[in-house]
Amino acid sequence: MTEITRVPLQPIARGSLTKLWLGVIAAVLLGAGIAWAAAPKGVELTEMTAGTGANPTAEDVILVNYKGMLADGTVFDQGQGVPLPLQGMIPGFTEGALKMQKGGKYRMVIPADKAYGAEEKRNPMTNQVVIPANSDLTFEVDLIDFMPAAAFEQRMQAMQQMMQQQQQQSGGGGGGGGAPAPGAPPR
């Protein structure tokens, strides 16, 4: 039978095991802190007035009153009763809107990486920088209503048809004096 070579174990000095465990804990905490700091920040949504009902989906068009601001409070855009298709919005705005409810008022802070990132936005008329590169954006949003994009498109087409009919009826006569419209009583 062969004999196995024995290695004698050395006794551990008093307090060394505690120091070893403290070192392991410190390394784990340091790694977690670095991971937390490097993790991308999400959209912060603060509810100022509670809404009711369901939340919009990414395929919906939302109807909102809004004000967009830079971190220093400079207003770069605002609107009343504006329809916004969520599929066409910056990722952070869509992410925040999906958590809103009809009738609610919200404050949304979007980090630059979920807004325009390193791209700056300019006013097409003046070529002036409106949103500098790497800007965090803040929006105050009142969610008035929302609907599926297909229903919104149908409503828009119906409104366009009504406007065309009204223009034909009012603009076609050239100021009166012509023949009455078919079916209208004579003048």
Evaluate if residue 176 carries a pLDDT over 50. Answer: no
Q: How confident is the model at residue 29 (pLDDT cuts 50, 70, 90)?
A: confident
What integer is the mean pLDDT of 8-35?
79
Q: For residues 113 and 95, is the Cβ–Cβ distance under 8 A?
A: no
Torsion of CA 135, 94, 80, 73, to 10 degrees: -20
Query: According to the model, what pLDDT value does residue 39 have?
Result: 60
What integer is the mean pLDDT of 151-175?
83
Query: According to the model, what pLDDT value does residue 172 have?
Result: 58
**pLDDT by residue (tens digit) across 108-161?**
999 999 999 999 999 999 999 999 999 999 999 999 999 999 999 998 899 999
**pLDDT by residue (tens digit) across 63-85?**
999 999 999 999 999 999 999 99
- Mean residue pLDDT of the chain comes to 86
Q: How confident is the model at residue 42 (pLDDT cuts 50, 70, 90)?
A: confident
Q: How confident is the model at residue 16 (pLDDT cuts 50, 70, 90)?
A: confident
Fold entry, domain 44-151: Chitinase A; domain 3 (3.10.50)
The residue ranges of every structural domain in the chain are 44-151
